[in-house]
Amino acid sequence: MIEFDGIQFNDLISGRVMDALAEHDPSLAELGHDQVPNRVSRPLFMSAIAQINGLPFLPKCAEFCESELLDACDPALLTRGGFTPLCIHGERLIVAISNPWSSLPDEYLPPRFPDLQIDKVVTLSSEISRAIERGSTMAGPNRSQLESINVEDMEDGLQDFDVTSEYEEPIAQLAATILATATKLRASDIHFKVEKESFYYSFRIDGDLGEKFEIPMKLKDRIDAFFLNLMKLATETRNTVPGISGRFTISYYHRPIDIRYERHRTYRGYHITMRLLDKSHINVKLGKGSLAFDDETLFEIERVMRIPAGIIVMSGPTGSGKSTTLNAMLRELNRPDVNILTLENPVEDEIAGVTHCDLKSPAEFKPMITSFMRSDPDIILMGEVRDKESAELAIEAAVTGHKVLTTIHTPRASQIIERFEQLGIERWKIAQTLKAACAQRLIKVLCCECKTPQKGINESDRRTFNLGEEWADVSLFSPRAGGCSECRQTGYSGRTAILEIIPITPRVSDQLSKGEISPYDLEMMVLKDGSLPNLRRSGLRLLADGQTDLQAISKTIDMTYSDE
Ligand SMILES: [Zn+2]
């Protein structure tokens, strides 16, 4: 069975896809079904899908889409259904589809375009989104419109901000355009920064901060006030308090996206960071998409999840996808007979059957969890252990027989124990309740449309990163300079997670409590064991699989030392 872009194809169709691929390139006939997603490019795969359905394949078609046709349709439905009308040719309506087996286009389009016969062409799902997004007029105000804004008048009171609507007020239109663009580009954060002579915004995409887009300096207070008004926060405090935090929701083609807002007062004005919590992306499963771990890692995750009581901690820097993995674990643990409670700030991913609680302030933590415990939970997800109080409460819950999933800020898994100690928890207490110490990173994945083959790793890199002779002539891939349109000229497209897991077995727990081994010794033991997933090993496996390059790995994890 082939699985591609989240769609599973049954054995019959998978077999026909393999035949069509082999016809194109006989060497592909040797591929196993599970190798297809990594080895076959999206255009090639979709052309095989088109071929077995007897339909034409058009890799690029967004440019042909006539926007008047989109006016008759609901963009949200088209996005969900993965199809879009392109143009009218005589008596025929040409429709781009990404799933030939869906009957939705045949049900939805005829009533809107009577008397036209529907002709389908297969394209990439990214082309369909591009066509729909292009068709909707989201140009935003231009520079001269922005310059002409009167800084005196101000409209306020927007609560749920639909960024795909048109706004009369230019500041609202500018904000909507920036937020919609960020969502479209799948940015994780938007920064607004006032410097001595410039005011600009930029997006963080796949971990990298991108280009700076200048905004006229005179608009800095208007934009600032616009967002504060949106969250109903007092604008008067902005020059007195050092930091302001808030949250609001935007609607992007009827898809709600939570924004976490942080504003710091700076010497020249302010620095605003907005984190986009796009729920459609975090709804990922273990073993799939960005959490497509190798079998060894999946096996260890399964084992960790079966631990009846105790603490499972995921560590890593901000933006390493810790909570995505914990939420995916929670989804697997979610059964009708278990009572799961979460305590988060904010709730990132709502799961049916799970009781989610939203922390409004750190002060709510203790009363919340105390009242929590009365509802007899089996599993508790605690957003983050950040202070002594939350650390103590996690331990308390574990001691009383609960399974606790949480995150903590430390670079390496073995440092979790020391971090608890720094927070004022005795070594023996954490040694006896911690069941698994994990660390996660996200590694950039090479764009599969333009990655270029590369022969081996040169000697200087082998020495810097402690790689053996065997790396001298393996077949690898590197990003193409200048990339392609699929990867926005970066050479990379998306990220994938790698994990390090240290299980705290009863013996290890005993040795740690008695002080016979240090957390560092523990890390060394795990490395020598050789079978447990570790960051360096997982990174190198991605490299050997041709999914990433050495630069992307060494930027994220420290590769300059090796204990193997
Ligand atoms: Zn590319």
Vertex 195 angle, CA 191 and 201, to 5°: 25
Bridge partner list, 475 = 455
d(CA 398, CA 485): 50
Contact 393, 372 (CB under 8 A): no
The model's pTM is: 0.68
Q: What is the pLDDT of residue 156?
A: 44
pLDDT confidence of residue 270: 93
Nearest-angstrom CA–CA distance, 444 and 424: 36
Measured in Å, residue 551 CA sits from the centre of ligand 1 at 16
Distance 79 CA to ligand 1 centre (A): 23
Written as six digits, the tokens of 39 are 């080895």
CA of 545 to the centre of ligand 1 (A): 18
For β-strands 310-315 and 403-408, DSSP reports them as parallel
- Ligand 1 centroid from CA 457, angstroms: 22
Q: What are phi and psi for residue 310, nearest 5 degrees?
A: 130, 180
Pairwise CA distance, residues 359 & 344, whole Å: 6
pLDDT along the chain (564 residues), means of 10: 81 91 87 82 89 92 84 80 90 92 90 91 86 64 57 47 78 88 87 93 88 91 91 83 86 79 91 82 72 88 92 90 89 88 81 83 79 84 90 91 93 90 93 94 92 92 91 93 86 91 91 89 82 89 93 88 57
**What tokens does 503 get?**
């299980």
Please tell me what DSSP assigns to residue 188: S
Contact 524, 415 (CB under 8 A): no
pLDDT of 140 reads 56
Q: What is the pLDDT of residue 425?
A: 93
Please tell me the predicted confidence (pLDDT) of residue 146.
59
Residue 243: CA count within 13 A, CB half-sphere: 5
Q: In angstroms, how far apart are the furthest CA atoms of the chain? A: 83
Strand-pair partners of 251: 162, 256
**Distance from the alpha carbon of residue 452 to the mean position of ligand 1, in angstroms:** 10
Identify which of 365, 351, 223 has the alpha carbon closest to the alpha carbon of residue 283.
351
CA of 480 to the centre of ligand 1 (A): 7
Do residues 275 and 348 make contact, with C-beta atoms less than 8 angstroms apart?
A: no
Measured in angstroms, how far is the CA atom of residue 388 from the centroid of ligand 1? 46
Rounded to whole angstroms, the Cα distance separating 545 from 454 reads 12
Q: Identify the CA nearest to 125 among candidates 42, 231, 234.
A: 42
Structure tokens at 314: 């995921």
Label each residue of 195-233 as H, E or C: CCCCEEEEEEECCEECCCEECCHHHHHHHHHHHHHHCCC
* Model pLDDT, residue 138: 47
Structural domains of the chain ordered from first start = 2-135 (3.30.300.160), 143-280 (3.30.450.90), 283-444+496-538 (3.40.50.300)
Those residues with Cβ within 8 angstroms of residue 283's Cβ, 6 or more apart along the chain or in another chain? 349
CB atoms < 10 A from the CB of 477, how many? 18
